[in-house]
Amino acid sequence: MRRPIAFRPSSPQPSRDGRERAPAAARARGHLGNQRLNQRWKTFIARHKRPVVANVAIARELAGWCWSLATLPD
């Protein structure tokens, strides 16, 4: 019987280099987007939506938000 492979991160702290190198406008938009999606998740759970439905809805919003961030003018 095989043992499951455990996740072993390479460093104890997540890397924030990418965030620090991003322009200030992108960082601000990223923070606001993160807050919005987190609030949406809480709203779905409070309304007793199934987690799979909430995940799909949040993923769709995240995809649209990523596109809008990618097309953000420099």
Q: Does a structural domain hold residue 7?
A: no
Give pTM, 2 decimals.
Answer: 0.63
Number of independent structural domains in the chain: 1
3-class DSSP assignment, residue 1:
coil
Q: Does a structural domain hold residue 45?
A: yes
Predicted confidence at residue 25, as pLDDT, reads: 82
Predicted confidence at residue 21, as pLDDT, reads: 78
Give the HSE-up count for residue 62: Cα atoms under 13 Å, Cβ half-sphere: 14
Q: Residue 55: give the domain boundaries.
A: 24-70
Predicted confidence at residue 46, as pLDDT, reads: 93
Predicted confidence at residue 22, as pLDDT, reads: 78
Predicted confidence at residue 71, as pLDDT, reads: 85
Predicted confidence at residue 48, as pLDDT, reads: 93
CA terminus-to-terminus distance, the chain: 53
Mean pLDDT of the chain: 80
Report DSSP state, residue 10: S
